[in-house]
């Protein structure tokens, strides 16, 4: 049959890989959106008191951990309370409305992997949509190709958004800072009291290694 001949020529390999990437993207979406991003639990406070003082030597030693005014837990360094999730989140980055979940200490690396896979899927889909277009200046051509044109435009817009998001996150990760710290530097006490612009920065290589590994 034609399907067997296509399989023998290896023509089914690329569509299969594309479908697997789409499935991987969907699974990563649900994984990142449903997992615990690093919620601070009240029973962890005792351990925080013992280990917090030696985390970042570049910070002044007189910085005191504050108790959250909403959930009343003692916030670790770099944690923030999320109004949408009603929890304090470790190494809080931002609350993603598309995921309906926070991006924090536990799911931030997977969030980067999800964006990377999504970008590959969008670029591949954009290439497929573009390759199906042939341009003619006629009304009949527009009627037959309107779906491909709209698909390509949507894919192009989403690709730009995902690309910008991925690049900005990789930049912040390479500096060992979070979106929240970058946007609200002047409001965060442990950053205002530090002599350094970013006391957590330990060099690009070490920052990336500690984040992903």
Q: What angle do CA 158, 172, 212 make, to 5 degrees?
A: 90
Q: What angle do CA 95, 98, 103 make, to 5 degrees?
A: 30
Which conformational region is residue 74 in: left (phi greater than 0), alpha (psi within -120 to 50 degrees), or beta?
A: beta
Burial state string for 175-204 with b = 16 or more CB within 10 A and e = fewer than 16: bbbbbbbeeeeeeeebbeebeeebbbeeee
Backbone angles phi, psi at 82, to 5 degrees: -100, 120
Q: What are the catalytic residues?
A: 96
3-class state of residue 89 by DSSP: strand
């Amino acid at each position: 049959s034609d399907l067997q001949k296509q399989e023998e020529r290896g023509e089914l390999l690329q569509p299969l890989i594309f479908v697997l990437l789409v499935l991987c993207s969907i699974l990563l979406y649900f994984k990142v959106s449903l997992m615990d991003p690093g919620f601070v639990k009240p029973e962890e406070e005792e351990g925080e008191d013992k280990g917090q003082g030696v985390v970042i030597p570049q910070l002044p030693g007189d910085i005191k951990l504050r108790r959250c005014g909403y959930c009343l837990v003692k916030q670790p360094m770099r944690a923030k309370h999320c109004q949408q999730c009603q929890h304090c989140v470790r190494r809080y980055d931002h609350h993603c409305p598309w995921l309906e979940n926070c991006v924090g200490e536990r799911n931030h690396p997977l969030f980067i992997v999800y964006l990377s896979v999504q970008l590959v899927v969008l670029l591949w889909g954009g290439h497929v949509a573009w390759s199906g277009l042939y341009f003619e200046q006629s009304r009949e051509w527009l009627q037959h190709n309107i779906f491909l044109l709209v698909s390509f435009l949507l894919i192009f817009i989403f690709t730009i958004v995902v690309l910008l998001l991925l690049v900005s996150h990789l930049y912040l990760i390479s500096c060992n800072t979070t979106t929240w710290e970058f946007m609200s530097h002047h409001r965060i006490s442990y950053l205002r009291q530090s002599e350094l612009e970013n006391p957590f920065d330990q060099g690009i290589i070490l920052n990336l290694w500690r984040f992903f590994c």
